[in-house]
Structure 1
Amino acid sequence: MKIGELARRSGVSARLVRYYEQQGLLEAAREANGYRTYDEEHVEQVVRVASLVRSGVPTRLIRALLDLEQAEAQATYSCPRTVAEMLAAELVGLEDKIACLTRSRDTLSRFLEQTEHAALVSEARAGGSVDTE
C-alpha cells in the first residue's frame, strides 16, 4: 500500500508517517520509482508508535523499545549500560505517569459516581461516546 493508505488506516497523517521514518521508527520498502510501499505490519507499527507518542514516550525511547522487541524476536540480548540506564530511568517516569493518570481517573470516576451522571462513567469505560451537552 502507498503512504496515503497507510496514513488513513493508521489514523495519522502522511507527514507523520514520514517523520516516523526519519526518526528510524519505521522502514518502508521502495519501488523502482522511489515510492514507499507498506504492508499490514506497518499499519500495526504506526498505530503503536502513534499511541506511544500520544502517551508521552519520547521517540528516542520508542526507537529503543522497537529495537528491544526485535532483539527479543531474534533471541539476542545485548544492551550497553548507558542504554539500560536510559530505559530504567524512562521506566520510572512511565510508572509515575501511570500512577498519576490512575489517581486522576479514580478521582473523576468517584466524583461522577456521586452525581446524577454516574451512567457516564460506565459509558466512557465501555468506549461509547459521551455526549458533553
Structure 2
Amino acid sequence: MTIGELAEKAGVTPRMLRYYEQQGLLTPRRGSNSYRLYEDAAVELVVQIRELIESGLPSRLLRTVLPWLGHQDCNTQVTCDALSREEFAALREHIRSIDRRIEVLSRNRTAIREYLRLMSADTHGDGRHSGQT
C-alpha cells in the first residue's frame, strides 16, 4: 500500500510516517517508481508506534525496544543486554509512569460510571435530570 493509504488506515499523516522512517522506526520498501510501499502489517506497527510515542516513550528508546514488542518468543536476556543502564532505567521509569496513568484513568472511569449510574437512576420520565432547568 502507498504512504497515503497507510496514513489513512493507521490514522496518521504521511508526514508522520516519513518521520517514523527518519527515526528508524519504519522501513518501507521502494517501488520501481521510488514510491514508498508498505505491507498490510505496517498498519498495526504504525498504530503501536503512535501509541507508544503518545505515552511519552522517546523515539530513541522506542527504536531499541520496538523489535521485541509483541513477540512472545523473544529472548528477554538479549533484550536486557541490548540496553544501556540509562536506557534500562528510562524504560523502568516509563513503565511506572504508564502504571500511574492507568491508575488515574481507572479511578476517573469508575467515578464517571458512578455519576452516570446515579444520573440514570435520577432521570425523570421526560429525560431531564435533577438540577436541570
Q: TM-score range by the shorter chain?
A: 0.7 to 0.9
Instruction: Report the Cα distance in structure 2 between the residues aligned to 1:82 and 1:88, rounded to whole angstroms.
Output: 10
**What SS class does the counterpart of residue 115 from structure 1 fall into?**
helix
**What SS class does the counterpart of residue 12 from structure 2 fall into?**
coil
Instruction: Report the Cα distance in structure 1 between the residues aligned to 2:115 and 2:63, rounded to whole angstroms.
Output: 39
Instruction: Report the Cα distance in structure 2 between the residues aligned to 1:57 and 1:46, rounded to whole angstroms.
Output: 14
Identity of matched residues, %: 36
Residue 42, structure 1, aligned to residue 42, structure 2: yes
Deviates further, 49-58 or 8-17 = 49-58
- The Cα RMSD (Å) is 2.5
- Paired residues in the alignment total 118
Cα shift at 1:41: 1.6
1:96–1:17 distance in 2 versus 1, CA, 3 Å:
same
- Any gaps of 5 or more consecutive residues in structure 1? 119-133
2:23–2:59 Cα contact (<8 Å) kept? yes
AA of the residue aligned to 1:83: E
Residue 114, structure 1, aligned to residue 98, structure 2: no
User: 2:106 is matched with which residue?
Assistant: 102
TM-score, structure 2 normalization: 0.73
1:53–1:80 distance in 2 versus 1, CA, 3 Å:
closer
User: 2:65 is matched with which residue?
Assistant: 65
- Any gaps of 5 or more consecutive residues in structure 2? 123-133
